[in-house]
């Protein structure tokens, strides 16, 4: 049996094309899942003690897999974003924000009119931590505001809202009605933030990605397909340097 949580990499040939993939076992997973991520490539997530035929699964999903891998190849992610420092351009809600380091500053503070984020001068690691903390604080405020605004006309009921640091997910909605959002969305334009809010709000009513789910999403966010496409293409670039 594959030890839980330990990713193993395999290479095989599917429909005449070589394909590398990782397999992870998740005790929390209820069904198999395929994910494709710029860093790790294709991963098959299996519930513990799964007996699924992996070769058959890869074959039946080969069109989806190769389509996504090809798209990733067309939008390569920079190997490592440049280190942030004085004068770096950060993204905030889709616009540029110039980072200014000041010896006297105690916390990071934004001057939106000037398009500047002022932060205490510090070594690289603490500086990065300060900036991430700033983004997370902004995310708490912005998501609370957008949720209130968008849900005003919907009246859906949710419980807790948390801001997370997820590698591959932008948001989530638990069966209990808790919502979570990725702080990196603070680097995306507001309409993208809103589209993720809409997506998770609709999950309060329809948990699966069924036809009914997408119909409801489309009714609230008619351009949701374009928003999803934007996130797919630009999402991997929403990272903090260094
Ligand atoms: Zn979803």
Contact 75, 94 (CB under 8 A): no
Q: Per-residue pLDDT averaged across 139-161, rounded?
A: 97
Q: How far is the CA of 116 from the centre of ligand 1 (A)?
A: 34
pLDDT of residue 89: 93
What span, in angstroms and rounded, lies between the C-alpha atoms of 18 and 7?
A: 19
Residue 116: exposure state from Cβ atoms within 10 A (0-12, 13-18, ≥19): middle
Q: How far is the CA of 60 from the centre of ligand 1 (A)?
A: 22
Per DSSP, 185 falls in state G
63, 25, 76, 66: which is closest to 42 by C-alpha?
66
Instruction: Give the homologous superfamily in CATH for domain 89-237.
Output: Metalloproteases ("zincins"), catalytic domain (3.30.2010.10)
Q: Per-residue pLDDT averaged across 102-121, rounded?
A: 90
142, 141, 154: which is closest to 202 by C-alpha?
154
Q: How far is the CA of 129 from the centre of ligand 1 (A)?
A: 29
More confident of the two residues 34 and 28: 34
Q: How far is the CA of 221 from the centre of ligand 1 (A)?
A: 14
Task: Enumerate the CATH 3.30.2010.10 domain ranges in the chain, comma separated.
Answer: 89-237
pLDDT > 70 fraction of the chain, expressed in percent and rounded:
94
Contact 234, 188 (CB under 8 A): yes
Q: How far is the CA of 199 from the centre of ligand 1 (A)?
A: 6
Q: How far is the CA of 165 from the centre of ligand 1 (A)?
A: 17
pTM over 0.85: no
CA 182 to chain centre: 6
Q: How far is the CA of 17 from the centre of ligand 1 (A)?
A: 30
Q: How far is the CA of 224 from the centre of ligand 1 (A)?
A: 12
Q: How far is the CA of 12 from the centre of ligand 1 (A)?
A: 30
Q: To the nearest 10°, the Cα dihedral for 162, 164, 168, 174? A: -30
pLDDT of residue 6: 55
Q: Per-residue pLDDT averaged across 75-87, rounded?
A: 75
Q: How far is the CA of 177 from the centre of ligand 1 (A)?
A: 13
Contact 12, 19 (CB under 8 A): yes
12: phi then psi, degrees, rounded to nearest 5: -145, 180
- Measure the N-to-C terminal CA separation of the chain; round to a whole number of Å: 37
Q: How far is the CA of 111 from the centre of ligand 1 (A)?
A: 34
Q: How far is the CA of 202 from the centre of ligand 1 (A)?
A: 9
Q: Is 240 helix (H, G, I), strand (E, B) or coil?
A: coil
What span, in angstroms and rounded, lies between the C-alpha atoms of 71 and 75?
A: 6
- With cut-offs at 50, 70 and 90, classify the pLDDT of residue 78: low
Residues contacting 206, CB < 8 A, separation 6+: 212, 213, 216
């Amino acid at each position: 049996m594959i030890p839980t949580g330990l990713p193993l990499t395999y290479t095989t040939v599917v429909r005449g094309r070589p394909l590398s993939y990782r397999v992870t076992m998740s005790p929390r997973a209820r069904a198999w899942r395929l994910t494709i991520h710029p860093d790790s490539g294709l991963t098959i997530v299996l519930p513990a003690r799964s007996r699924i035929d992996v070769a058959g699964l890869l074959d039946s999903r080969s069109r989806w897999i190769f389509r996504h891998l090809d798209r990733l190849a067309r939008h390569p992610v920079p190997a490592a974003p440049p280190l942030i420092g004085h004068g770096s351009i950060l993204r905030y809600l889709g616009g540029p924000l110039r980072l200014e380091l000041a010896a006297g500053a105690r916390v990071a503070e934004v001057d939106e009119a000037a398009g500047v984020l002022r932060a205490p001068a510090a070594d690289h690691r603490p500086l990065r931590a300060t900036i991430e903390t700033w983004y997370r604080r902004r995310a708490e405020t912005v998501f609370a505001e957008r949720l209130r605004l968008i849900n005003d006309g919907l009246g859906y009921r949710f419980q807790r809202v948390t801001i997370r640091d997820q590698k591959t997910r932008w948001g989530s909605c638990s069966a209990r009605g808790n919502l979570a959002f990725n702080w990196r969305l603070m680097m995306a334009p507001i309409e993208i933030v809103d589209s993720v809010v809409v997506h998770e709000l609709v999950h309060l009513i329809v948990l699966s990605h069924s036809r009914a789910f997408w119909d409801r999403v489309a009714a609230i966010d008619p351009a949701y397909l374009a928003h999803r496409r934007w996130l797919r293409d630009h999402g991997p670039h929403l990272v903090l340097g260094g």
